Amino acid sequence: MVQLECLSEDEFRMIVEWFGREAPDMLLQWAGPTFTYPLTVGQLLDHYREGINQETSRTFVYKIMDESTGEAASMIQLGRIDRTAGTAVVGRFWIQEHMRNKGVGTAALRKLIEKAFREFQLRQLILRVFDFNLPAIKCYEKLGFRICARNENVCQASTGEWWSEYEMRLILDQVMVAAPLKPCVATASAEPYCASILPSSVRKTRLLGLLFSFTLQSFAWCSSRPTTSHRHGSQAPLSTRKEGASASAASRSSQSFTPW
């Protein structure tokens, strides 16, 4: 559906044209207070003066290509790349209006996640999104990002209103990073897991281990069962089980994410 291609400095004029058709607050929504309206090529050149899309660059800027039309539908950036810490920040994510609500944003972000963890060998992605941008938040959560912090009143719109933002992050474990197979995004669990990206030998070993463990547990359960009727087993009272389930749910809900 879409492909990511490195954006060259010669194509900065295209970005300027995009935002020349938008209201000033759309530029603010895209880049925060980094740029001033109207956007110019000079501002972009100055902002990216350290260079982009080179082997040693800390910033890679991509145009999102619509394969059906060959059009540059939008753009996305992987910035503040720290190869030692294994982290980077997703930003400058923009979809042209006529390409929205068509799955382009979700497909593009999925491609970027794959690049980050396969090509850059990163372990954590961070992004920031204004709290009123519900479609974007829904897209990010769909791909595994989770809210870890809220920053109040980070910038002021042209109307005088102050905007607040969420920080979100995506973390994958080393198995996901190293697996050369089908990509998988993180889930809300503390230890994301996707069997489809594990090597077949590992999957077989885990399956055999689970079967062996299940067999032992079944044998132990059968050996310890009383000889009386099933109706008089040693199962815990319903109220006790409900209390245990409630405690477990409360424990899960108390888990929090550490802000980056």
Give the pTM: 0.68
Cα first-last separation, the chain: 32
pLDDT of residue 173: 54
pLDDT tens digits for 1-16? 899 999 999 999 999 9
3-state DSSP helix/strand/coil % of the chain, to nearest 5: 40, 25, 35
pLDDT in tens, the chain (260 residues): 899 999 999 999 999 999 999 999 999 999 999 999 999 999 999 999 999 999 999 999 999 999 999 999 999 999 999 999 999 999 999 999 999 999 999 999 999 999 999 999 999 999 999 999 999 999 999 999 999 999 999 999 999 999 999 999 999 654 344 444 343 333 333 333 222 333 344 344 444 554 544 445 444 444 444 444 433 333 334 344 444 434 433 333 333 323 33
Residue 251's nearest CA partner among 190, 169, 194, 186 is 190
Q: Domains for the chain: give ranges and CATH numbers.
A: 2-171 (3.40.630.30)
Sheet with 146-156: list strands edge to edge: 2-6, 60-66, 71-82, 87-95, 124-130, 162-171, 146-156
Reading the block at residue 210, the tokens are 């689970």
